[in-house]
Structure 1
C-alpha cells in the first residue's frame, strides 16, 4: 500500500493510521517533493510531475501491483498516476481528495499562503482547519506534541511549495479523462470536511467508472488518518479484502475453465 499525503503535510500525517494497520499489510508513506525529508526544490510541483516522482519510487520499490491511497492534493497525484500506470494498481483509494476537476484558489487565499511561510501561529491555525474534529487539548500533551511536529514539518517545506501546489491544482483537470479508470476505486469523505465539499466528492465518484462507493465518515473532518484512523483503516481494509477475494474467485474460475 502506497500512501500519499496532502498539502502542508508529510509522511508523519499517516503515523496514527500506520500504528493501527495490521502487520500483514506492507505500507509505505513517502515525503512528497518539497515536504518532510525530501528535496526542497523550487520547481516540479505540477501534479503530472509529482505523479512521475511517485512512478520513480514505485520502480525503485519494484512493486508490480499495489493499492494506491491519496489524501487531499495527494488524491490528485494518485488519480494522475492511475491514468498513466493503471496496470500497476490493485485499487485506488481517495481520502477527502481534491476533486477530479482540480481546485481553484482565490487570490486572497494566496496571500494567506504566503504569510504562512513566516507566521507559525497562522500556519498552526491553518493546519487545525484541516483536522477540525481533532484538537491539541492542553490536557493531552501527546496531541499537542504531535501537532507541534506537524507545524514544524510544514515550516520546513520548500518555500515554493506553499503556493506551487495550490497553483498546480488550479491548472490540473482530469474530470473527463478519469472515465478511463476502470480499476476498483473507493472514495472516503469526512462529513465535517471544510476543504472539499460533498458535491465535489460526488462529482469525482460519478466520473470514475471503477468507483465502487462513497464511504462517509461521520463527525470527521478533512484528515481521517489523524482524526479517525481506526474508522479509516476499517473502511480501507474491508474494501481491499473484498476486492482481493473477488479477484481470487475470478482467477479460480478462469483456471477451472482452462
Structure 2
C-alpha cells in the first residue's frame, strides 16, 4: 500500500511541476466601501473582497476574533460577539477563501492572513486590541502576536491547530483538507483517505525529501493538486508554517483554552504552548470538543471574559504545576496497561506496559522497555543517562530531561514536543538506530548547533545529537 501511495503522490507532484500550462488568472479586486457595521471591503493582500463585521462602541477596548477552517467563518463567533459587544468594540472577518469573502487560487498561509488582519485593523480598529483565535485562527493569532506585538493587548488561543511539526501532527491532517492531495478518483475510499492523510508526509519525507513550501507557493500546484480549494490550501499552509521559534517571543499575556475531548487539535499542543510562552495559562474545559465555545459556551465565555478584563497580573497567569505526593524511591510498572503515574520518584521502570501516562512528576532516572508511554510535564534529572528507552514508543510533552546523556534509545520511536533537553555529552545517543520527531524542542548539547530543534532526526551509533 505504501509503495502504491508513494507512486501516486510522486506522479501527481512531478506532473504538476513539469506541466507548463499557466494557472487560471485571479479575479481583480473590486473595492467596496464598508456599509454600516458589516459589509465587503477591499482585500489589501490577495485582491478581491473581504467580509468584515463590527459590533459595540468603538470608544471601548477592542477585541478581534479570528475563525478557523470552514465556510461558517465569522458566524461561528456570533454568540461570543453578542456577549462581548456590551463592554468591547468587536471586529471580526471572514478570512479570504472562506464565508462571504472572495475565493481564489492564492497562498492562504498564516503569515499572509496575519498581514490581512494587520492592514484591516489599522483601518477599522485603529488601536491595540485583545486578539482571540480558534483552530487555524489560533495559529494565525499566534503568528500575528509574534509579527505585530505592539498591536496585541492580550492573546487568547482556543484549540489552536497546527503548531507542532507536521510529522507529529500527521494523524490530525484529514480534517484540515490535506486528504485532497491523496484523493485520486477511483483509488481510495473516503475512509481510507482520512486514515492515510498523515502518511503522505512521512512517506515522502523519509523516501524522497520534498520542499513543500516551494510546492504550495506554486499556483500550478495549488490548482492541479489542491484543486484551488481554499480549505486544502489553508490547511496545508498551516501545517507547513514553522512555529518553532515563536512562543518565547510572545509578549502579550496569553490564555490558552482547550476542550479536553478535542479530536482535531491535540491537547498536547496546549501543554507545549503553555510551557514555552513566557506569560501564559492553560485552561482545559471538561467535556469540551474542538468547537469548545459552541459546545461549552458558559465555561468558555467565563474564561474569555476573565482574560479580557484582567490587568495581566503575574498571579493570574502562573499555574502551579508541582508534583504531588511523597517521595518514592522506586516505582515499577510491569505487564500492566493503562496506568497513570505521578509524583516525586527516584527511579521509574516501565517494562512491557502499554498506554501508560506519566504526568506532573519529578524523577531521577527512567527506564522504559517494550512499552508505549506518554510523559507529560515530567522533569527527569540525572547523572549518567536520564532516560533509557528499549524497543518502545515514547511521547514526551512539555517536560525537561537532563543528564550526561539525556536519552539513550535502542530501536525506539520518540515524539518530543515542547521539551527542554540538556546533555553534557549528548542529548540523544542510539546504540541501536532510533527515530525522533521534534516539535518546538529546546536543546543544549555540545554536538548540536543552536538551541531549537524541530523535525525528524534519525539517531544511530555514529550519529548522536
Residue 293 (structure 2) aligns with: 225
Q: Which has the greater radius of gyration?
A: 2
Counterparts of 1:82 and 1:11, CA distance in 2: 20
Asked if the contact 1:184–1:243 (Cα under 8 Å) also holds between the matched residues in 2, the reply is no
Asked if the contact 1:105–1:167 (Cα under 8 Å) also holds between the matched residues in 2, the reply is no
Counterparts of 1:113 and 1:14, CA distance in 2: 30
Residue 430 (structure 2) aligns with: none
Which of 90, 93, 116 is equivalent to 2:156?
Answer: 93
Residue 269 (structure 2) aligns with: 200
Specify the SS of the correspondent of 2:78: helix
Q: Give ranges in structure 2 of 5+ residues lacking alignment.
A: 1-62, 184-189, 195-226, 315-465
Structure 2 residue 121 is the aligned partner of structure 1 residue 68: no
Specify the SS of the correspondent of 1:32: coil
Superposed, 1:1-258 pairs within 5 Å as 1-9=63-71, 10-21=73-84, 23-101=86-164, 103=166, 104-105=169-170, 109=174, 110-111=178-179, 159-211=228-280, 213-243=281-311, 246=313
Specify the SS of the correspondent of 1:80: helix
- Residue 170 of structure 1 deviates from its aligned partner by 2.0
Task: Looking at secondary structure, tell me which structure has more helix per residue.
Answer: 1
Counterparts of 1:232 and 1:107, CA distance in 2: 23
Q: How many residues align?
A: 205
Q: Give ranges in structure 1 of 5+ residues lacking alignment.
A: 116-121, 127-157, 248-258
Change (3 A) 1:226 1:102: farther
- Residue 107 of structure 1 deviates from its aligned partner by 11
Change (3 A) 1:106 1:192: closer
Task: Looking at secondary structure, tell me which structure has more strand per residue.
Answer: 2
Higher RCO structure (Cα 8 Å, ≥6 apart)? 1
Counterparts of 2:76 and 2:182, CA distance in 1: 22
Specify the SS of the correspondent of 1:233: helix
Residue 152 (structure 1) aligns with: none
Specify the SS of the correspondent of 1:242: coil
Counterparts of 1:102 and 1:48, CA distance in 2: 17
Asked if the contact 2:162–2:239 (Cα under 8 Å) also holds between the matched residues in 1, the reply is no
